[in-house]
Structure formats: structure tokens, C-alpha cells
A and B are shown apart, each in its own frame.
Chain A
Amino acid sequence: MIQLASAASDHRGLTMTLFGLFVAATLGITIWAGRQTKDAADFYAGGRGFTGFQNGLAISGDYMSAASFLGIAGAIALFGYDGFLYSIGFLVAWLVALLLVAEPLRNSGRYTMADVLAFRMRQRPVRTAAGVSTIVVSIFYLLAQMVGAGSLVALLLGVSGEGAKRWTIVAVGALMVIYVAIGGMKGTTWVQIVKAVLLIAGTALMTVLVLAKYHFNLSSLLGAASEASGKGAAFLEPGLKYGTTGTTKLDFLSLGLALVLGTAGLPHILVRFYTVPTAKAARKSVLWAIGIIGGFYLMTLALGFGAAALVGPKAIKASNAAGNTAAPLLAQELGGGAGSTGGAILLAVISAVAFATILAVVAGLTLASSASFAHDLWANVIRRGKASEKEEVRSAKLAAVAIGAIAILLSIFADKLNAAALVALAFAVAASANLPTLLYSLFWKRFNTTGAVSSVYAGLITSVTLVIFSTVVSGGKNSLFPHSDFHWFPLENPGLVSIPVGFLAGWIGTLLSKETADQAKYAELEVRSLTGLGAH
């Protein structure tokens, strides 16, 4: 905090200007996109007119959240190798989406994840379950971004005090509602594309600057990092964060499982596949995303070890205990250090990129959850499919305002929650509640409504309950309620238990129910998902 606060006055004006430019440009795009948005397909799916490459960039923009850019760089800077493990899980997870989910989903759905889950089931119970789980996952994810935004914005802009932080959260929330309500999917996708390009350019610049300091020799960078860390060779080995006891090792396995299986169940990622015209374009967008995200995570390796070597863990921890400001501090150091003009400029640029990142991810999440509310819960469950398209889009816009307001309120009251734990929880809930149902729906002929509903609710309830009774909420130093202790679940991440529960519940629910699966509908789903025949 000390180091940044002293530099704050130098770069605050510049950061504000750059960020203001980003907001102005994206608002311009949003208004332009809003004028082009005529029907529901435009609002929910951007008119399905994006190319594979554009959508690949937008997916990367949605996925490379503040947790990736600031969180992973910080975790590597503080915990060395253990921070890198996050990047690997986040990347490998894309293969599940590529091989099993992206193309069938694009072919068989229309606007939301529930379209696929409810395809051959009774609509109301399945859509209700899928809508609830979409909104729960998105709100956890949203909360993580908003909490991160609040503390980071306050820190990076040099404003201090609760009042400034709250106003920042309110401003971020208001902006995202504007993006979503006016621009719909078209506007949000372009915001993601702009943000992804900015983030990659900023990261690439810093990576080259770091590597240049070590003559492009990875080994000497690692050597310098382990020396500066004060932990020696252990800094480059697994175990600094997760290797201490049998329980933390299990927790690591649980986290690893949630990360690799969560991505293909994240609603705000799944709806991105609807923005392209064909399944082949959906495949291309995932291929681009794997390339872009993979390259980005490789660069965060250089940023994290670079921050450890050049800034040092002591200065990083002094600024933010969780390491969230490692990347901006590294930017300042690379530009010439605190107090130098170069340092101030680079810090301002990277801070503005970080804001853009948070804002864009938040907009993507709001869109996905309000779309699910309007299309699944409101139009199909409450109005039983009798709502007109206009009504449906209007209710999605109102839902965006409501979800924005809920996120703002929750963030203000929950700003002591650990942002990383919230993101990992969102992954665990998605992997437990959404992925089993999605895979069964697409590939298991016998799967029926009872199976789908039990799978979603069992996964959702188990994962959320286990988190409530873990040290994330009580009984730990960094808990939500550090002063009370009602935890009995020893792991922080519920995935190890709740993911198998989600899969088992879907299987048992199907077998116990007397209902027979609709064979004709399954044939239709199979043909449509593999060939695109009859796809929207």
C-alpha cells in the first residue's frame, strides 16, 4: 500500500484519462450495437454474426478475468510454482469444452444453457433448475469480480476510505448495466474483444520487458526469482501453498478437479457459442481461445516470477496481502521504478487494462444471468412460453438492472470475502450442477427429467452447503466470519465431493424414475447436435 500510495498522485490522472478513454470508446460501441439490436437473437446472441476468430477473442476476454491477470501473477509471485497450477487447470479445462460441449451446444441450443438441458425433457422443471443454477454460479463469479474491483480500484487509483470504494463499486455496477441493457450481446462481445486485445498487448509488453532483463534466459529469471523469494529452490517446486498437510493436498486435488471440469459448465462461457453462425465456427472460436488463453497464461508465468525477482515478495505483500497488485507493481518497476515518469506511465497503462478487464467480465456475467432469467425463468416457466419476443427482451434488460443492483449490494456488504475462493467456488458449482446434466443430456439416451432435475439440484445444494460449512465462511483467519466457527468440512473447495454427487444424482435419479426417455426427441437432439440440421 505504501509504495503505491506514494506513486499514486503521479499516475492517478493518467490512469483516469486512459480508463476514461476505454469507457468512452466502449460506451460508443455499446450505443452503436444497441442501434443494431432489433430482435431477441440480436440481444441474446449478437445476431449470431461473429466469426470464429472474433468470438475466440471475446471468449478469451470473458475468461481472462481479474483473477487471472492480477490473481495468478500475484499467486506466482508469492507462492512460486503453486500459483502456476491454477493456469494449467484453467487451460486444460478448455479441451472438455472443445471436444464435448461447444459444437453440440451451438447446434442444439438457442440462447441459454437451459435450451440444451430442457431439449428433450419436461420444460418447466428443467428450465427452473438450470435457470437457478445459472444465476447462482454467475452471482458468485460476479461477486468475486466486484469485490476484486472494489479493493483494486481503491488501491490503484490511490483513493482510500470506505466511501470512495463503495462509490467505485456502484460506478462499475452502473456501467455494466448500461453495457448490457443497451448493447446486448453484440455490444458486450465487442467490449470483450477490445478488452482482450488491450490485455494481451499489455501482458506481452511486460513479458518482453521482463525477459529482456534476463537476456531471454528462463533459467536465470527463475534463479533470480527463487533467490529474491527467500525460499530458495522450494519456490520453484510444488507445495509452498498446498503441500503442508494431508488435508491441503486433498484440497489441491479438489481444486484441480473443479478447475478442469468447471469451465465447460460456466453459463457466461456457454452462451458465447451462440454468437457464431455454425458449429464449425464455434469449434474455431474455442481453438482460437485455447491459443490466446494458453499464450496468456504462459506470459503470466513471466510476470509472476518477474514480480518475485524484481519487486520482491516483501514489497508485494506490503501493497496487498493476497498479491493482487504484483502485476501493476511490476509494471511500475519495469518502467523505471517508483517516482520515475516511465514507471508512472506503465503503471497507469497496466492499471487501466486491469479496470477494463474487470468491467468487461462483469458485463459478460450480467448478460448471461439476465438472459437466463428472462428466457428460462420468465418466458418459459412463469409465462409458459406465451411471452412475445419483445416482452422477453424487455424483461432481460430489467433483470440486468436487478442483477446489477444485487451484485452492487452484495459486494458492498461482502467486501471482506476472499475473491479467489469465490471464483473457485463458482467453478466448483458449475462443475457439480451444470456439467453432469449437460453431458448426460447430450450423450446418454436414457437420461430423463427426474435425472436432470436431481443432478442440477444435488450438485448445486451439495457444493453450496459444503462451502457454507468450510473455512471459507467461518473458523479461519481469512473467513467471511472470522470470529465465529461452525465449519465441519475440512476442504476449502467442495469439488472432490460435490462433482461426484452431481454425476451420481443424475444417474440414480434417472434409474429410480419410472418415466421413460423420449426416444424421438433424443434422436432429434443427436442428429441436430452432430449435423446442425434444424439448428437456429
Chain B
Amino acid sequence: MDTPPAAEAAAADVQRIEEGEEFRGLRSAFRSFAFPVTIGFILWYLLYVLLSSYAPAFMATKVVGHINTALVLGLLQFASTFAIAAWYARYADRRLDPPAEAIRESHAPTAVHAPREAAE
């Protein structure tokens, strides 16, 4: 339906790739980063939301001048978002891209992927 011939050829040995050690390593490298970090930042965000609603006195504490805890925590959400994004970018560059590329190269049926790489 949506699958061109090249992909069908790839689908033939896809089961073999999936069971291979190389791919299992890639999958666990991805999951062991993405899943815990997602749970982590969602809890950190919910903590912030709950503090805003249920701990008004704490959030109103003045830190410097007119800047209070609420604003500092809010800006920390920005900082943590930027930091996690940068951390993931580095991690993906080192731990996800090389094995993904290796699998792609050793199993690509034809030159289908070459121009795609060049475009990047």
C-alpha cells in the first residue's frame, strides 16, 4: 500500500536485523535514555505545576529584589528544557547515530539511501 519495492526488499531481512545484537543495542541505548528522561522531566514539570497551585507561600518567597521563588522555578523549567534538549542531541550524536548508520549501511538494499544522506 504505502510500501515501495525497495522497502519490501528490506522488509524481507528486517526480522533478522531486529533479532541482531547490533539493533538490540541501539534500541536499548534509545529506550534507556528516552524513557527515564521523559518520566523525569514530566515529574519535574508536574512538581512545578503543583507547587504553583498548592504552595503559594513558598512560591512567594522573595529571592532577590522583586524576583521570587515562582519566577526562579519557572525560569529553571526553561533552563532544564534547554539542557535536556542539548543533552539528548549529544547523546544521539554519539550513541544513536553511529549504530543506526551502521545498520542502514550494511542492510540497505540498493543506493536508495545515498542521496538522502547527501541531502543532509
Contact, CB under 8 Å: A533 / B38:
no
Which residues of the other chain, A, contact B17 by a CB distance below 8 angstroms?
523, 527, 531, 533
Q: B52, B68, B116: which contacts A278 (Cβ < 8 A)?
A: B116
Select one of A219, A290, A530 contacting B66, CB under 8 A.
A219
Contact A283 B89 (CB under 8 A): yes
Shortest CB–CB separation between residue A130 and chain B, in angstroms? 14
Q: Which residues of chain A are within 8 angstroms of B100 by Cβ–Cβ distance?
A: 530-532
The verdict on A5 contacting chain B, using a C-beta distance below 8 Å, is no
Instruction: Report whether B50 and A253 are in contact in the complex, using a CB–CB cutoff of 8 Å.
Output: yes
Whether A237 and B26, one on each chain, are in contact in the complex, defined by CB atoms closer than 8 angstroms, is: no
Determine whether the beta carbon of B70 is less than 8 Å from that of A81.
Answer: yes
The A/B interface has a contact count, at CB < 8 Å, of: 177
Count chain A CB atoms within 10 A of each CB in B23, B64, B66, B119 and give the residue with the most: B66
The answer, yes or no, to whether A147 is at the interface (CB within 8 Å) is: no
Partner of B34 from A100, A239, A257 at Cβ < 8 Å: A100
A238 adjacent to B1 (CB under 8 Å): no
User: Does the CB pair B46–A256 fall under 8 Å?
Assistant: yes
CA distance A280 to B116 in the complex (A): 11
Answer whether residue B32 sits at the interface, using C-beta atoms and an 8 A cutoff. no
Q: Say yes or no for A95: interface residue by CB 8 A criterion.
A: yes
**B50 partner residues in chain A, CB cutoff 8 A:** 253
Roughly how many angstroms separate A520 CA and B64 CA in the complex, as a whole number? 59
Contact B23 A237 (CB under 8 A): no
Closest to A526 in B: B18
The answer on a CB contact under 8 Å between A223 and B65 is yes
Contact of B56 among A220, A239, A290, A533 (CB under 8 A): A239
A238-B23 Cα distance, complex, nearest whole Å: 47
- Which range contains the number of A residues in contact with the other chain? 35 or more
CA distance A524 to B13 in the complex (A): 9
Instruction: Return chain B residues, CB-CB under 8 Å to A287.
Output: 85-86, 89
- Closest beta carbon of chain B to A256's beta carbon, Å: 4
Interface residues of A (CB under 8 A from B): 48-49, 81, 84-85, 88-89, 91-92, 94-96, 98-100, 110, 115, 123, 218-220, 222-223, 226, 233, 236-239, 242-243, 249, 252-253, 256-257, 260, 277-278, 280-281, 283, 286-287, 290-291, 294, 297-298, 380, 385, 443, 520, 523-524, 526-528, 530-536
Question: Which residues from chain B sit less than 8 Å from chain A, CB to CB?
Answer: 1-4, 6-7, 10-11, 14-15, 17-18, 23, 26-27, 30-31, 33-34, 37-38, 41-42, 45-46, 48-50, 52-54, 56, 59-60, 64-68, 70-71, 74, 77-78, 81-82, 84-86, 88-89, 92, 96-97, 100, 103-104, 107-108, 113, 116-117, 119-120
Query: What are 20 contact pairs spanning A and B, CB under 8 A?
Result: A48-B119, A85-B49, A88-B78, A96-B42, A98-B85, A99-B34, A99-B37, A99-B38, A100-B38, A220-B66, A236-B66, A236-B71, A238-B56, A256-B45, A280-B92, A286-B85, A523-B15, A526-B23, A531-B100, A531-B104
